[in-house]
Structure 1
Amino acid sequence: MRWSGEFSFGQSWVAFRGRCGDNAFHRHATAQISVGLDGPVTIRQADNSVVTGNALFVRPGVSHQLEAHGAALLILVEPQAFVGRRLMSETEPQNVSRLPAELQRLIQTDGALSACIAALDDDEAFKLPMDVRLGEALTFIETSNGARIIERAANEVNLSVSRLRALAQRHLGISLAKWMMLRKLRCAAEALASGCTLAEAAIDAGFSDQAHLSRSMRQVFGVTPLSAAGAIGTEQAKHSISSE
């Protein structure tokens, strides 16, 4: 069975909504929310135990296989990000568990995919106001190219590299390196969606080669770059995907 649907990248998450296809046992560095849109979803673990429910939560690094009958919403979240920390603290400690009803109600299953977990992220207990210097440094990184980008961004806002990294961890909830990796993966997906080859997308996004891109995409999100070729950066440029 083929996968068919759409992707959206956030600052520390990626979401897929559509029909789920065949998948083997896999694990990834992100936490996973699985919400059935046409009925319950099932997560099978490596020991062959299963958990079934309308919305399930899989902790990072857990070997699992998704069994969805029809359409589903899948959200992969960096565990150190604000949403990830909230999910990790407000769900059961098991590797796979049913998502609590109060959290499930905060997930938007229709409408703009980019806003699917906006309500989950709206909790001041898990975040701080953005430091102005960090905001300026992130803008510099997003609009600049070349080597030693973090060092140059730190110099631009009169911070040491270590201080800039500390601010990123504190305010973004993930390390600056992970934030940059997510940005690169998003750029690669957009390049693929625009018609670039895998090799071209890898170079455009700053990866050493297509193998590096493929390895990074699988490690972070558990999907291949071609499966994420429909990823979007804005609501004005939606693309659907259909992959083996």
Structure 2
Amino acid sequence: MIPRFAIGEGYAVYRGPTTTGTLHRHAAFQIVVGQPDAVGVADAAGITHRAVALVVPPMHPHCLQATPDVLAFFVEPHCAFADRLRRHYGDGITAAPELRGLSEDDVRPVGRRGSDQLDPRLMQALNTLADSDIALPAVAAHVGLSPQRLRALAREQLGMPLARWRVWTRLRHAAEVLQSGQTLADAATAAGFADQAHFSRQMREMMGLTPAALLPIVRSQSLRAT
């Protein structure tokens, strides 16, 4: 098994070992698939859910248990694949044995397509927040909503505050900078984090991974590609 990390449109994917960390919450759906055996994910109550594949909804506190090899997808909530996850899986950690054979090739085409379920004004706001540092009141005005209504819409349809989505998009941008061959400090600055330590804390809190753990994986991938 060669560890792998990649960012695609609407998703990210990690393959490799994990250690048991602390509770964290993603601004995305997470699908974890054991390679090849069952994988364990603990919830906030300390209950460990075990299955060959598990789905964790956005903002649900959880902790992936130590495993030598896991395949993890982070599916952004505004893409078409997230619509499928919302339809078929519950609000908590859910066993999904039918996703055991899921591959990046399955996720890529539906990651590129936008959601058919979310309010179009919310979709427009998410895209605006991802592409700029514009303040929330200006984003709300741009999509024809009050800030209060936009916040409520995000909580109703995404299950998260828009501030968490903005942090997620910054982490995504930082990961893309790392993939381009730049340093951890460069990635932190480019994505708008206060410093490298802030970048590391936010990634650990929202992805259960650290930039320092991902950097050697990303660099080895770059070397193999040359």
3-state SS in 2 of match to 1:185: helix
Question: CA RMSD for the aligned pairs?
Answer: 4.3
Kindly state the Cα deviation for residue 207 of structure 1 after the two structures are TM-superposed: 1.2
Q: Give, in whole Å, the separation in 2 of the partners of 1:137 and 1:44.
A: 32
Query: Which of 199, 220, 223 lines up with 2:185 in the alignment?
Result: 199
Q: Give, in whole Å, the separation in 1 of the partners of 2:53 and 2:103.
A: 15
Q: Give, in whole Å, the separation in 1 of the partners of 2:103 and 2:175.
A: 22
* TM-score, normalised with respect to structure 1: 0.64
Instruction: Tell which deviates more after alignment, 135-144 or 160-169.
Output: 135-144
* TM-score, normalised with respect to structure 2: 0.68
Distance change >3 Å, CA 25–CA 230, structure 1 → 2: closer
> 1:42·1:50 contact (CA, 8 Å) conserved in 2?
no
CA deviation profile, 1:105-163 (whole Å, cap 9, x unmatched): 24652342644997xxxxx9xx83432x3333333333334xx5212212223322112
* Structure 1: stretches of 5+ with no match in the other structure: 93-98, 119-123, 233-238
CA deviation profile, 1:202-221 (whole Å, cap 9, x unmatched): 12111111111110000011
CA deviation profile, 1:180-224 (whole Å, cap 9, x unmatched): 111111000001111222222112111111111110000011101
**Which letter does structure 1 place at the counterpart of 2:98?**
R
**Which letter does structure 2 place at the counterpart of 1:43?**
G
**Which letter does structure 2 place at the counterpart of 1:139?**
N
Percent identity, please: 31
Match for residue 175 of structure 1? 161
Distance change >3 Å, CA 179–CA 168, structure 1 → 2: same
Distance change >3 Å, CA 108–CA 22, structure 1 → 2: closer
Match for residue 216 of structure 1? 202
> 1:44·1:51 contact (CA, 8 Å) conserved in 2?
yes
Could you say which structure has the larger radius of gyration? Answer: 1
* Structure 2: stretches of 5+ with no match in the other structure: none
> 1:34·1:41 contact (CA, 8 Å) conserved in 2?
no
- Total equivalences in the alignment: 210
Distance change >3 Å, CA 86–CA 195, structure 1 → 2: same
